[in-house]
Structure 1
């Protein structure tokens, strides 16, 4: 296929539609055991969630750590309103404060938090290392950071399809053109180390679906991954990355992997690191 220059507006590549809010909730609920396993914070600890969005992950943080004091931050007024409603419904009584703020201009004192949680945020930023460095300012010495990201090139499936692979590549290219990186999961260890964290540990969290796991086929293959790729159709066609016919064939082939004789695999990466003792950094 021909190469094209891709230009898109920087920001959240998937948009802020009601459909995207539903997809985020489906993703969080489907992957809760995988993503949040091993993450539980002590009662009374101060936890900062960066990029809480519609609260899809906040609910699971609160449920896993009912005594923790969570501060959830996002840049979008609308997303924060949805997050408040979601947490009120699914984690009533959770101790959550909500703040509209930019990651690089957080309205908190130095060393304010014991733990920082960052999930599916760095992939949308043009400067992920600087973001991780900036977070050290509000994290106390010896406090921990947990970062979770995916890697879209880790997707492989049966039946194989060059058209399906090309549709996924459209999403990757559009995200890159907007300043993000859909392959960032594989980079977490060097990013955290370069940002100055100690004791960095990264482990893969693999999703595999087939007909013996129908909940994952629906929740992840169809309603999370394929829905994510489908959401960039208009931008992909406008940028000339694929023809409409090839795109439609690619999406049809992706849905084929969710049928009875199909399989799908994807890898997330979960990182844990410690903010070293010493002089706090502003990250600016």
Structure 2
């Protein structure tokens, strides 16, 4: 397979602001996303698409005796991930490997567990990536996949402008070769890649005035910041005017303010590789 056609563009970019947003998101949602995921001491765990290490920190903290291997296609992201984990989890056992998910430089069945978070949404061929991951997972080993679904977002006060800019982000990601709605497809993708018996569970985050810290950390600093970050691309693509974009972002900000509420659903799948 020509792997150059398998990756979509990362529409959020690689700025320092985006790295901070990824860290904010991982920290705010650590229990929601990582709850139930712990690996035994001595187990060999592969994290595919570790990026800047935002999730690696939580994997290392929750499974301190595991031996982690973190893979990403970007050398710059790996350097940031290494520094982040060294600061947050000194002594963590992590091997850092620059590699392509479609051409992993490991033997068959060498890992006990594989963890994939917020990666499939950026790939043109997510099922092919899962099949490539299956090769390096031992029979009986587990695969955990976490993805979002922007179609699951709703807010109060409701705002047609806010819903429009979320839709523009979905369209931009689709144009780049990804799928911001991939969460709803996890079971089918896993089944197609040879993982029978996968179990998919919704992980819903709801923030309102009773959860002001979560309102700030997720609604404002994670989701709204993500949407704001692609405004220039949306306007340049002719999806909306600058004024329309700003009205949409303002609607999201109102949902993060006094009297507002925001809800979003992630999907977490766990599968076991058969023989």
TM-score class, shorter: over 0.9
Q: Which runs of 5+ in 1 are unaligned?
A: 1-8, 278-284
In 1, distance between residues paired with 2:196 and 2:88?
Answer: 35
The number of residues matched between the two structures is 269
How many Å apart are 1:11 and its aligned residue? 1.6
Residue number in structure 1 paired with 2:85: 87
Matches within 5 A, 1:87-166: 87-166=85-164
In 1, distance between residues paired with 2:65 and 2:97?
Answer: 20
Q: Which runs of 5+ in 2 are unaligned?
A: 1-6
Q: Could you list the per-position Cα deviations for residues 219-274 of structure 1 after superposition, in whole angstroms to 9, with x for gaps in the alignment?
A: 10001000000111010000010111111111011100011110000000000001
How many Å apart are 1:199 and its aligned residue? 2.2
Residue number in structure 1 paired with 2:230: 232
TM-score calculated relative to the size of structure 1? 0.94
Q: Could you list the per-position Cα deviations for residues 190-219 of structure 1 after superposition, in whole angstroms to 9, with x for gaps in the alignment?
A: 111111112210000000000110111011
In 2, distance between residues paired with 1:105 and 1:193?
Answer: 21
How many Å apart are 1:95 and its aligned residue? 0.4
In 2, distance between residues paired with 1:136 and 1:50?
Answer: 12
Matched, 1:70 2:68: yes
Q: Is the 8 A contact 2:115 2:144 kept in 1?
A: yes
In 2, distance between residues paired with 1:78 and 1:210?
Answer: 36
Residue number in structure 2 paired with 1:59: 57
TM-score calculated relative to the size of structure 2? 0.97
CA RMSD, 1 decimal: 0.8
Matched, 1:29 2:5: no
In 1, distance between residues paired with 2:55 and 2:149?
Answer: 19
Equivalent of 2:37 in 29, 32, 39: 39
